[in-house]
Chain A
């Protein structure tokens, strides 16, 4: 009588563990990685450093499209999206400009070694209540070939790498009915 019960209990252990882990807060995941069901991305604040508006918007748009592709979040929200208000286990991404050097595409083309465009940001991912979960510096640059705005895509790639390293794939595979917000 006890043996079948024990077998069932042992068989149920992974399922119980999986269910509890899915409900645990980010830091307590067995893999040591963070996990969140949704993320809200804010545009980069430039502070005292002057960042051209096209760069600011390019960083924001590239971040959103790249973070969506990581599949680490079921939903990726833009700043101000009212649908983000009631979402549980949502994290918020803020960026602050640390350094910006506008290069020259022509100079890059002609000299190869000069005219690089570089952007350095401080990236913070925090919970909704303001608890900081991740605080890193990310860089984007275009050194040899391409337009200056390509630095923003390079920066978004760096952020993507950081997210893949630090965030787990969501345990539940159920997608929201409305689909990912755009």
Chain B
């Protein structure tokens, strides 16, 4: 009986610790965000899978061999949005077109939700650049918050 009481008393403490760890992970992501570069970053190929980190007032996007660094203070606007993409994509998507009896159409029904992040920034010459990235649902808002905290401007405030 005493054991049960002790366990019950421990429960709020356990929930508190769990809650704190969840909120901490929402603020910073140690490994960085896994993003897909749609277009705009000059040093990175289109549709490349990258890792994004925001640290020291900079946004660093790293692909396998390429890297792009953007100063947060040079970002003029950040927009977030939602979209969806086919689960079966890339080469398999093209190959699936050959599947008979509308197999490709059937496969196209399986989609995953993605967040889109659109950036407007200026380089050292004042030239305007735009970049579009996609990431897991819910992450774009987090990234926007971090960018704004690092010095980026946003016409629509981060939620």
B111 and chain A: residue at smallest CB distance: A106
Q: How far is the CB of B89 from chain A (nearest CB, A)?
A: 10
Cβ of B51 within 8 Å of any chain A Cβ, yes or no, is no
Cβ of B129 within 8 Å of any chain A Cβ, yes or no, is yes
In the complex, A54→B126 CA distance in Å? 21
Supposing A52-B81, A106-B84 touch, asked if A78 and B129 sit within 8 A by C-beta, the answer is yes
Binary per-residue interface labels of chain B (71-100) against chain A in the complex, 1 for a CB within 8 Å, 0 otherwise:
000000101010111100000000000000
Supposing A60-B130, A62-B39, A80-B128 touch, asked if A54 and B118 sit within 8 A by C-beta, the answer is yes
Binary per-residue interface labels of chain A (57-93) against chain B in the complex, 1 for a CB within 8 Å, 0 otherwise:
1101110000000000000011111110000000000
Cβ of B158 within 8 Å of any chain A Cβ, yes or no, is no
Supposing A54-B132, A147-B85 touch, asked if A81 and B127 sit within 8 A by C-beta, the answer is yes
Cβ of A182 within 8 Å of any chain B Cβ, yes or no, is yes
Cβ of B109 within 8 Å of any chain A Cβ, yes or no, is yes
Q: Is the CB of B125 within 8 A of A81?
A: yes
In the complex, A120→B70 CA distance in Å? 32
Q: Is the CB of A106 within 8 A of B109?
A: yes
Supposing A61-B39, A82-B125 touch, asked if A110 and B105 sit within 8 A by C-beta, the answer is yes
How many contacts between A and B, using CB within 8 angstroms? Answer: 77
Q: Is the CB of B81 within 8 A of A56?
A: no
Cβ of B122 within 8 Å of any chain A Cβ, yes or no, is yes
Cβ of B138 within 8 Å of any chain A Cβ, yes or no, is no
Residues of A within 8 A of B84 (CB): 105-106
Q: How far is the CB of A97 from chain B (nearest CB, A)?
A: 15
Chain B facing A: main interface SS: strand
Residues of A within 8 A of B130 (CB): 43, 56-58, 60-61
Q: How far is the CB of B110 from chain A (nearest CB, A)?
A: 10
Supposing A52-B81, A56-B130, A58-B130 touch, asked if A109 and B104 sit within 8 A by C-beta, the answer is yes
Chain A interface residue count, Cβ-Cβ cutoff 8 angstroms: 26
In the complex, A81→B104 CA distance in Å? 45
Q: How far is the CB of B18 from chain A (nearest CB, A)?
A: 36
> What would 18 more interface pairs be, CB under 8 Å, given A61-B39, A110-B105?
A52-B81, A53-B118, A54-B38, A54-B79, A54-B116, A57-B39, A57-B120, A57-B132, A60-B128, A80-B126, A82-B125, A82-B126, A105-B84, A109-B109, A110-B109, A147-B85, A149-B39, A181-B125
Give chain B's interface residues, CB within 8 Å of chain A: 38-40, 42, 77, 79, 81, 83-86, 104-105, 108-109, 111, 116, 118-120, 122-123, 125-132
Complex A-B, nearest 3 residue pairs according to Cβ-Cβ distance, in ascending order: A57-B130, A109-B108, A78-B127
Give chain A's interface residues, CB within 8 Å of chain B: 43, 52-54, 56-58, 60-62, 77-83, 105-106, 109-110, 147-149, 181-182
A-B contact pairs, 15 of them (CB 8 A): A53-B79, A54-B79, A54-B132, A56-B130, A57-B39, A57-B40, A57-B119, A62-B39, A80-B128, A82-B126, A106-B108, A106-B109, A109-B108, A147-B85, A181-B127
